[in-house]
Amino acid sequence: MLSISSQANAQTSWGEVFNKFKIEARADAEYTNRTTNIDGDAFGDPGHLYGIHGRYFNLHLGGNLGENFSYYFRQRIKAEAGTVNFFDNTDFLYLNYRPTQNWQLRFGKDAMAVGGFEYDAPPIDVFYETNMWDNFYCFQLAASGAYITDDGRQTMMLQVSQSPYVNFYGLNWDAGLFAYNLYWAGSIGSHVTTLWGVSMMERERGKFMNFISLGTKYTSTDGTTDIYVDLMHHALATDDWGKNFGVVSRWNYHLNNEWTLFIKGSYEQNKSEVDLDDATVSMDFLMPHPGHSYGRYGAGFEYNPKGLQSVRIHGYVAEMTDSYTNTVNQDVTEHSLNVNLGATWTMDVMKLFKK
C-alpha cells in the first residue's frame, strides 16, 4: 500500500490516500440461561453460562488513489489463521473506479449485494442477530457495476461473486461456483428507503439457490423514530417456494443524541429438502438445520456519552428459541434467555493526525 501511495502521489496528496484510518473494538459481558422443553414439559437442568468476551477488533483503511480510483480495506484481527483462502478474515479489500457521477465499477473482496438492513449493518453494530445472519458467508471476492442517479438517491448494482457454497462445503477457491446478484438501494419519497436484492447462488455447477431479500426502512420526519423490516426467502428449486423464509425487524426510538431505545424481533424457518445422502444436512447454507424454526426477540439500549461519539455502551435482554421435531417424533423447543452489556470504542487515527 505504501508503494501504491507513492505512485499515486503525483495525482493526490498523502492525506487523500489515507483519508480513513481507524481501529475499532467491542467487548461484551453476557449471561445465558438455557432450557429445553419436550412435548411441552421441561427437560433437564437449566444451563447457566456467563462471562466476558471480546467480539470484534477491526482495522479500517481507505482513501483516494487519483484518477477516479479509490480503495477500502477492513480487516478483522483474529488470533487464528484463515481456513479457506488468504483473505479469510478480510471483510473488504476492493478497488473502486467511478469515471462519472453516475457509474461505478468495483473489484476485490466485498460484501455480496443481496439487500436487507440487518445484513447491511456493520457486524460490530448488530445485536442478537438472525440465524441467517450467523451463517451467511457474505464477504466474497467479487466484481460489480453500479448506476447511480444524478441526485444520488437510487443505486442499481449488478454483481458477480464467488458463491458462499465454496465456504459452506469447504471447497477450494477454484471450485468454479459463482453467485449473481441484482441490487437496488434507493428511496421512495422522503421517509422510506430500500435495500432490495435478488440473487442466484450456485450450490453445484449448474444448480442454484435463489435468495430474495427485501429490506424497507421508515424514518419519521423529526428523525426520532425509525423502523426497518427485512423479508427473506430462499429456495433450492422451483418446487421449493414457501418453505424457507424469514422476517426480521428493528424499531429505534432516539431519545436524544446520547440515548437510543430499540426493540428487535425475528422469525425464520427451514422446511426445505435435505441432502439425500445425509438427512441431517441441509443444502441451504443460510439455515443448515432442516426442519427447524427460530424465534428471537428482545429490547435494549445504546448510549453514546455526550460529545464522545467514539464510545458506545449497549445492553439488551433477548429470548431465543429453536423448535423442531426430534427423531422419535417429539416436539422440542430449546430456549435461551440472554442478558448482555457491552462497550464499543473507536480509535480514529486520522483525526489525531488532523489535530
> Is the per-residue pLDDT at 98 higher than 90?
yes
Lowest model confidence (mean pLDDT) among 5-9, 32-36, 92-96, 246-250: 5-9
Whether the CB-CB separation of 27 and 343 falls below 8 Å is answered with: yes
Lowest model confidence (mean pLDDT) among 81-85, 213-217, 301-305, 318-322: 81-85
Average pLDDT over every residue of 307-316: 93
Question: Cell numbers of 298, please?
Answer: 428482545
pLDDT of residue 11: 54
The CA distance from 156 to 148, in Å, is 7
pLDDT of residue 80: 61
> Is the per-residue pLDDT at 117 higher than 70?
yes
| Separation of first and last alpha carbons in the chain | 24
Contacts by residues 40-49 (CB-CB < 8 Å, ≥ 24 positions apart):
40/331
pLDDT of residue 87: 66
Question: Cell numbers of 297, please?
Answer: 426477540
SS3 168: helix
> Is the per-residue pLDDT at 131 higher than 50?
yes
pLDDT of residue 281: 57
User: Closest Cα to residue 247, out of 227, 233, 261?
Assistant: 233
Average pLDDT over every residue of 33-41: 84
The CA distance from 259 to 244, in Å, is 36
Lowest model confidence (mean pLDDT) among 11-25, 176-190, 258-272: 11-25
Question: Cell numbers of 78, please?
Answer: 483474529
Lowest model confidence (mean pLDDT) among 25-29, 217-221, 288-292, 299-303: 288-292
Scanning the chain, the segments in alpha helix (DSSP H) are 2-7, 14-17, 117-120, 131-135, 165-168, 349-354
pLDDT of residue 284: 87
| Chain centre distance of CA 245 | 17
pLDDT of residue 6: 44
Average pLDDT over every residue of 279-301: 85
Average pLDDT over every residue of 20-36: 94
pLDDT of residue 9: 44
Query: Residue 224 carries which DSSP code?
Result: S
Neighbours of 116 (CB within 10 A): 26
pLDDT of residue 274: 58
For strand 155-162 and strand 178-188, is the pairing parallel, antiparallel, or unpaired?
antiparallel
The CA distance from 5 to 23, in Å, is 20
Lowest model confidence (mean pLDDT) among 6-10, 60-64, 298-302: 6-10
pLDDT of residue 3: 43
> Is the per-residue pLDDT at 196 higher than 80?
yes
- pLDDT tens across 316-344, in order? 999 999 998 887 888 999 999 999 999 99
CB contact set of 122 (below 8 Å; sequence gap of 6+): none
The DSSP string of 251-291 is EEEE-SSSEEEEEEEEEEEE---B-TT-TT-BS-TTS-STT
